[in-house]
Structure 1
Amino acid sequence: MSTQCIKEQSNTQPISIFDPQEEKKIELQKFKKSKVCAECKSWIIRQKSVGCGICEDVYHLSCMRPKLTRKPKKWTCTRCLELKNTFPDTNELEIDTLCGRCQKHVQCDDEEFCSKCSKVFHSKCYGPKKVAPICIFCEQQKPPKIKQNKNLVQFLPLKISLKNQNSFILPCCIYDDTLRERCFNSIQYALYCQNISFNDDLVYDSVQKQENNVALEKLEPLTGKDLEAFKKYKQVTKHGYYAPVIVEYNTDQGFYVKAVQPIANNTLICEYAGEVFRFADQVYSTSDSMMSLLETSFAATSLVIIPQKYGNLAKYLSGINNTKKNSKKQQQNVKSQRFNVEGESRVILYACRDIRTGEVLYYDYNEGGFNYNTRFFV
């Protein structure tokens, strides 16, 4: 996902239409979010204002330095201008066109790119004719073995619930031991190919954990049986075991996730994990997997997740093609939603309908009404 769609998961708690006081709170929240000056932190009511085209923060014209009397058509705030210099310009990067194996020049119509070592190869030098995301040299190194704790599967039920569930349910255990090991290894292999360390939690290396404070945004709280199921599932997923799914690869989609057993509606799939950043610090990021974590009034306090160094299964779930007619109805089988989990915002992905064996898992990158370009999606 790009920076244009990182605010896709704005799924707040539904408010009853019979509570006018709550309705006023929500309207005030919307008004405040789009009409608060990022400099003086006061409301913009009738004063002239302008929004930054990068981080989307809004400023009074009188608060800008130097002050402006007319509203410019396009404008970038000082913070974003300074930040741009810290991100490499991908258009100016020199790309090595020498084959990583034979060291001869590679033509663009005969090139293969390794996602792990970032080297380019001739098609014949890349490796076997099979479909592979990495070159023959990286393939030979093999990902490091992760010790499996097979006793963890006892936390998962052996049967799929046939009752209509209004709350989260745990996924069914993978019946076959060999298949379970294949699924486990497939996730580790995908992460290895992209130089990502497995981590099933939010990583706070760049920001303080206290900054993920849901007091800054109204989110639906996870309570009761939902919270209990989530905590129990995390005991399993932190060791690399998930719902009955496997990560596979093809040249059209790259890595994708497929169900190996039926998955019931409202079944927990995984939490979106990775390193947490302030959105203001990542407005020029080229990551295709940026996820909104906390949406406040300002880019400097809004948080995003980027699974670039650390990640889990969530990175490989596919997005639906919104340009195709009925794609949401026909493709989407997973929903992502941000919840208040004991005072901390967390992104949870769960089945939004029954999923059959062999189905690819899809969710809507534009769930919150944002306009991310998905026309190239399969």
Structure 2
Amino acid sequence: MTITGRFQSLAENRAAAELNERSREIFRQIVESYLMTGEPVGSRNLARILPMALSPASIRNVMSDLEAAGLIFAPHTSAGRLPTETGLRFFVDAMMEIGDVTTEERARIEAQMKAAASGHTLETALAEASTLLSGVSRGAGVVVTSKSNTHLKHIEFVRLDPSRALVVLVSDDGSVENRLLDLPPGLPAGALMEAGNYLNARIRGRTLVDLRSEIEATRAQMERELDTLTAKLVNAGIATTVGSPETRQLIVRGQANLLEDLKATEDLDRIRLLFADLETQTDVIDLLTRAELGEGVRIFIGSENKLFSLSGSSLIAAPFRDASQKIVGVVGVIGPTRLNYARIVPMVDYTAKVVSRILEKGR
């Protein structure tokens, strides 16, 4: 499993890289306690749970060094310590022991995903992936994909004026989308119907990406069957619908999980800010799309990304691929920075692989 994070080299935080064994163990206990409870931990509690015999005074000295290194902080005077975002990033990249998905969990993920995909739309299967990840993480499950992966039922060109037309797309699930299209000058009156008929003869049960691939492969034949302007119309219609930035869609499930186990009023304020972030779908889609740029699982922690700079949230995401091995979307989990990274990372990774297998087999 490949995990892409911010610390590509420990040299990015020399102080963190040079922690001795005792400091690393104390730091580990502070982080793991935070991930489990969300609460700061003090030197007396650490003295009881550390696998080595250290006095609270010795532990406080180490904690002071960790604080100077920017890895932990005190949320209140005389309180225990919590990891900073830098500390969390160092822990995730350099110290965390990634778990594995059990045989039972693998079987459950595959069964749920196959059931959702069988006889249903791709969007149904992706929504199930989002719901599934929400359930295992107690965060919000998210999926972003291209609507050009939706299986289509009908396409139609509707003239608006001499220079513009609407491309109307009807999917298998009954959803309808419209795209504006500039018409080539001098287009014959019957060209819109002829272009629609040509595409509809080939479109049923296919995605726009599939259709575009076929048209590109049989371009010479199309140009023999249609006049030049109608062939241009077909090409323009496909390019407009496949290439539009609006074809990205966001699926979110399990937002209510984020309201559970709130520790304080500031937690509620943070979740409200996160909900506001999720409502701004364009920004969330942009962030998830960044996870398509690299192999494996991507982890974004807190203010490392401007979208979460106020809510202090984390995102764990992994890309999935279609039958041609092209990355076509991302599945992931959004939640508080104290997500159970060691458990969620392999779950997100495996779910992305199952989605890819379903797309490879054409559902």
TM-score (norm 2): 0.26
Query: Which structure has the larger Rg?
Result: 2
Higher helix share: 2
